[in-house]
Structure 1
Amino acid sequence: MLRLDADHVLRLVQPGDGAALARAYTTNRDHLAPWEPVRSVDFYTATWQERHVEHSVADTDSGRGYRFVLVSDDGEIRGRMNLNNVVRGAFRSADLGYWIDASRLRRGLAGRGVAELIRFAGEELSLHRLQAATLLDNVASQRVLSSAGFTEIGLAPQYLHIAGEWRDHRLFQRILA
């Protein structure tokens, strides 16, 4: 568990988080809609989220992915930060993704969380590189990445299916070691 400020900790997803994740996603549904795939109605249920937690824990156990939750002092989940698609061998890389609750924006939580994941990826996982992608107009996320030492490495046309459309993304990387 990593303390990001007086009111928030970052920790790995754990069994039993499904209901809190469902509340977090439901509360932030409109906030996240422009940045994420179109979600099914089931996605917003505790049952669906708890199944995803089970997969996330299995991914952590196998070293394929590390999904974290940002938890406020009231016990509610206020964001997610993930290291996905962990590849070992000669590549030693992962994809970074994150979101912060709409009520917690502009507090520096994304920047501090990304810094902690960089540290975790380098020191705990011995990764060489992290990659992140943002929609072209997601300037706030691009600022977080730039402040954390990521550099832009290119443009990926029609990279992800977001908000019902194939959308172009800016690609960033951070070399860790």
Structure 2
Amino acid sequence: MLHRLRAAFAPAAVPEQHTRTVLSRGHSHGDLNDAPAGLPVALRPVRATDGERWSAARIEDQQLLQPFEPTVQGDWATAHSPQAWRKTFHNLQILSADRVLVPMVIDIDGEFAGQLTIGNIQYGTVSSAWIGYWVHSRFQGQGVATAAVALGVDLGMQVVGLHRIEATVMPENVASRKVLEKTGFRIEGHLQRNLHINGEWRDHLLVAQTQEETAPEGVVRTLVNRGILGLAVNRN
């Protein structure tokens, strides 16, 4: 019985190249239609060759990332060295092969701009996962996170086949809270001392959305219609 349920509700395999691209929009001081055109944002699978760029971005942005990320073992530079990427990539590949995690790179015109991960994918009558992301400081303030999360939610629901996607965010992380709200997440609760962040246990807000709350055409198309993202195209 469990095997049949797992087969019936199992998320679809994620294609090797998820090349859908949307245009982010820069900050606006008024009407969204006046917001400057943004950047072409896409998601692609992580690669073994991402190590150098991953390491450089993570080390450069330590002061921005560390206050909001799980505590690392040892020092930040060692934990994010190109050598550390080899182990990280290996672990991501194992979890991806087991179909419990979808590890993606946020790609802007071929440049490594951050990561987006759909993790803890559960099957059967749960059919849910969490989503997490980070964006390199070079690309912040240009709507890239909003575009990436919109793509990620559509990937999770339309390609992987999830019913529910959730995320956790620290209450003081205002920028990330705005991204999640803009892309359709609603607050479900306050988790006390939920994750060990930068050396101490920290509270988080639990946010989520389900298929019933998402327009049939997806989050990307909804935000395009609202003028928050540019028209989506396929890079084929």
Q: Same fold (TM over 0.5)?
A: yes
Structure 2: segments with no counterpart, 5+ residues = 1-18, 24-38, 213-236
Detail structure 1 runs of 4+ shifted over 6 Å in the superposition. none
Partner residue of 1:20 out of 27, 34, 53: 53
Say if 1:24 and 1:76, in contact at 8 Å, map to a contact too.
Answer: no
Aligned equivalents of 1:13, 1:124: Cα separation in 2: 17
Cα shift at 1:7: 4.6
CA contact (8 A) 1:86 1:93 kept: yes
Where do 1:84-95 residues align within 5 Å?
A: 84-95=119-130
Q: Distance in 2 between matches of 1:121 and 1:8?
A: 17
Task: For 2:161 and 2:188, locate their aligned partners in 1 and report how far apart those are by CA, in whole Å.
Answer: 22
**Sequence identity percentage:** 28
Q: How does 1:29-48 map to 2 (within 5 A)?
A: 29-39=62-72, 40-41=74-75, 42-48=78-84
The counterpart of 1:111, out of the listed 141, 146, 154, is 146
Further displaced range: 7-16 or 58-67:
7-16
Pair 1:101-2:136 in alignment: yes
Residue identity in the other structure for 1:99: W
Contact in 2 for aligned 1:19/1:50 (Cα 8 Å): no
Q: For residues 117 and 158 of structure 2, what CA distance do their matches in structure 1 show? A: 16
Q: Residue 58 of structure 1: CA displacement? A: 2.0
Residues 34-86 of structure 1 deviation map (CA, whole Å, 9 limit, x = unaligned): 1112333321211111211121122222211011111333x442211110111
Say which SS state the counterpart of residue 97 (structure 2) adopts.
helix
Find 2:106's aligned residue among 67, 70, 85. Answer: 70
Structure 1 distance, partners of 2:202, 2:189, is 14
Distance 2:44 2:166 in 1: 21
Larger strand proportion of the pair: 1
1: CA distance, partners of 2:198 / 2:140: 21
The 8 Å contact of residues 4 and 10 in structure 1, kept in 2 or not, is answered as no
Kindly provide the amino acid, as one letter, of the partner of residue 185 in structure 2.
F
2:48–2:89 contact (8 Å) kept in structure 1: yes
Deviation at 1:91, TM superposition (A): 0.5
Q: TM-score, normalised by structure 1?
A: 0.92
**What's the Cα RMSD here?**
1.5
**Cα deviation, residue 8, structure 1:** 4.0
Structure 1 residue 52 corresponds to structure 2 residue 85:
no
CA contact (8 A) 1:16 1:50 kept: no
TM-score, normalising length: structure 2:
0.70
